[in-house]
A = this chain, B = another copy of it.
Amino acid sequence: MAESLHKTRLYHKVFQTRWFAIEATTEAYSNSEPYYRLSCGDSAVILGVTRDKKIILVRQFRPALGVYTLEFPSGYINDGESRVDAAEREFAEETGFVCDSMTYIGSFTVAPSRINTMLHFFLGKDARPVIEERAEKEIEVVLVTEDKLKQLISDGLLLEVAGSAIYLAARLKGLL
Within 8 A of B (CB), among A39-67: 40, 62-67
- Assess whether A67 is in contact with B154, with CB atoms less than 8 Å apart: no
Most B CB within 10 A of own CB, among A6, A15, A29, A64: A64
Q: How far is the CB of A21 from chain B (nearest CB, A)?
A: 10
Q: How large is the interface on A (under 10, 10 to 19, 20 to 34, 35 or more residues)?
A: 35 or more
- Assess whether B159 is in contact with A164, with CB atoms less than 8 Å apart: no
- Assess whether A173 is in contact with B161, with CB atoms less than 8 Å apart: no
At the interface with chain B, which of A83-91, A94-102, A110-118, A125-133?
A110-118
Q: How far is the CB of A159 from chain B (nearest CB, A)?
A: 5
Q: How far is the CB of A95 from chain B (nearest CB, A)?
A: 17
Closest to A40 in B: B114
A141 at the interface (CB under 8 A from B): no
Most B CB within 10 A of own CB, among A4, A69, A114: A114
From B9, B25, B111, B164, contact of A164 by CB (8 A): B164
Most B CB within 10 A of own CB, among A37, A153, A161, A165: A161
Within 8 A of B (CB), among A136-169: 150, 153-154, 156, 159-165, 167-169
* Given A14-B15, A19-B114, A35-B64, 10 extra CB contacts under 8 A: A6-B65, A6-B66, A17-B36, A20-B114, A40-B114, A64-B115, A107-B156, A108-B161, A111-B111, A164-B164
